[in-house]
Structure 1
């Protein structure tokens, strides 16, 4: 009996730990709907073979949030920043560098110029700036590499089942970051209640995050079809992938204050609220379209002969090599 009580107590402690962590973006329902809508809207010349894995990609949509629990500290330290992009916190950068590691060093350089212990210094690090843009483009490159292997095996008449399973997992990962990025509160320092000067008296309650992305979404019963209705027709992305991701996150951040306005009006507590529903539909459709277009783009890029940079990014001979990071930033492509 004593051991039984110990087991119950440990379970309660774990439950408290889990509920104390930041809310998972969009919750299971919206992440799954975004993923399924993206797959369903793939054009005929896209990686349509992934549609056979829709149940896995939709069902495992929230998997990356499992890597963010305090009980798994190494995983949490690495993964947690990948779910946010708080641009206000590093506004001193005209443009983020094309390297996760150069970004970290730039933050450290800036932090060292701030008063020790100040709020600015405490928040000038990846924990408080996020690394979502890097997580997304890194996941994109992994998709391209896997799709090249799929093409090679298919051309040789070999079984692609295993690489397709690996690609389905990679889609889950990039899809989660894109889904998070479409949620405006994941693209601002005001992710969990308003911070700093607050002349409009917006809520400082951290629960606004989950009230918007999970409770309201669950209350309206968001479906894949709701998302699909707002997804535009496929359009081939132009320009650099990293720049496209940054523009996507900037667009999301531009919708952040609207969430607070709706909350202030009581709309997030009313499933019948048309303005609140419209924001959810618009943002999830934007996320699904971005994911669809990235999957399509990765598939098209995988058909091209690999074009190595002028020099290996890890080679000291690369003109852009940075000895502090041991690499050169990614070239524009």
Structure 2
């Protein structure tokens, strides 16, 4: 694949407008989205792999950070999606609460169990549910796209064909947006501060190694160091091989978060050793590695969403995607809406 700079991708996205690229919420999240989409295989739909799609997903990967500041209840409900504060042994905020392995199926059940344990979900965060919700939405998007694409190709009525084409184009735009939003939360989950009670300095916990308690720790890493030291080509080069085993969604998300939790202490050890000053190569390697893990996971989740979409049922009355693609049923009423 031809290598292009992140700056070039940004220029595609903003059509030449000036952009300030800094912070995990800009540089890091954009890199995750761009690297993931550029790594998608050729058997995924072409609309997801164009230069414009790469740029769009990179920008949409920043979107949940740009939602902030709308007021209440908007902010409180959405801001807590960006993190889950885990104790060192993997409990949600408190030893009295569940571990990641014990996450219930529904967020409402999660909230209730946390409250029963004396934990406020607004303090704990609900990042695993944001990732699972985002992936399931992407599956729905791709399932609808499959049906629209197949129906448009076969339809002989000009009016219906025009509607299918327009709705397919709408779905393509929505899919890229939803992929970017999923990418944001996948990116958040790769950042150790977003999965730990030690999210901005070690905090008021036993600290025998004397790790920093500076309240600038999180921001200095995201807002300055990442922007100074990370490069798109390095992130792409560090991406892992695809991991596409047929693992249920929740166990996969739990494993991803638990892996990120193992990087909390190494982060603080490296910070103590001066690894995040200036352009230190040790810190750059750490940040690059975390971004590469996120880009790899987003690529893999996208591939898995595409595969799952072929087995879905959509519309009303419900129709099977596979039957539409095989040409055995007419999806018109289910797609236009049988009121």
Q: Is the 8 A contact 2:200 2:216 kept in 1?
A: yes
1:258 Cα deviation from its structure 2 partner: 1.4
Match of 1:306 in 2: 313
Q: Matched residue pairs, number?
A: 269
Q: Is the 8 A contact 1:237 1:297 kept in 2?
A: no
Question: Does residue 1:247 correspond to 2:245, yes or no?
Answer: no
Q: Is the 8 A contact 2:221 2:276 kept in 1?
A: yes
1:256 Cα deviation from its structure 2 partner: 0.9
Cα distance in structure 1, aligned partners of 2:68 and 2:267: 24
| 1:168 aligned to which of 176, 185, 188 | 176
Question: Does residue 1:217 correspond to 2:226, yes or no?
Answer: yes
Report the secondary structure of 1:87's partner residue.
Answer: coil
Cα distance in structure 1, aligned partners of 2:289 and 2:46: 24
Cα distance in structure 1, aligned partners of 2:117 and 2:46: 45
What whole-Å deviation, never above 9, does each CA across 1:122-174 have from its counterpart, x for those lacking one?
A: xx211221100001101111111111110000001232211010111101111
Match of 2:135 in 1: 140
1:48 Cα deviation from its structure 2 partner: 4.5
Stretches of structure 1 that go unaligned for 5 or more consecutive residues are 1-23, 112-123, 308-333
Select between 278-287 and 55-64 the one with higher mean Cα deviation.
55-64
| 1:198 aligned to which of 207, 229, 233 | 207
What whole-Å deviation, never above 9, does each CA across 1:163-195 have from its counterpart, x for those lacking one?
A: 010111101111100000011111101111112
TM-score, scaled to structure 1 = 0.77
Cα distance in structure 2, aligned partners of 1:128 and 1:99: 18
Q: Is the 8 A contact 1:34 1:288 kept in 2?
A: yes
Match of 2:18 in 1: none
Select between 130-139 and 25-34 the one with higher mean Cα deviation.
25-34
1:66 Cα deviation from its structure 2 partner: 2.1
1:87 Cα deviation from its structure 2 partner: 2.2
Match of 2:321 in 1: none
Match of 1:83 in 2: 82
1:46 Cα deviation from its structure 2 partner: 2.9
1:67 Cα deviation from its structure 2 partner: 2.3
Stretches of structure 2 that go unaligned for 5 or more consecutive residues are 1-21, 88-92, 153-163, 315-339
Report the secondary structure of 1:268's partner residue.
Answer: coil
Question: Does residue 1:260 correspond to 2:268, yes or no?
Answer: yes
* TM-align CA RMSD: 1.7
Cα gap change, 1:28 to 1:249, in 2 (>3 Å):
same
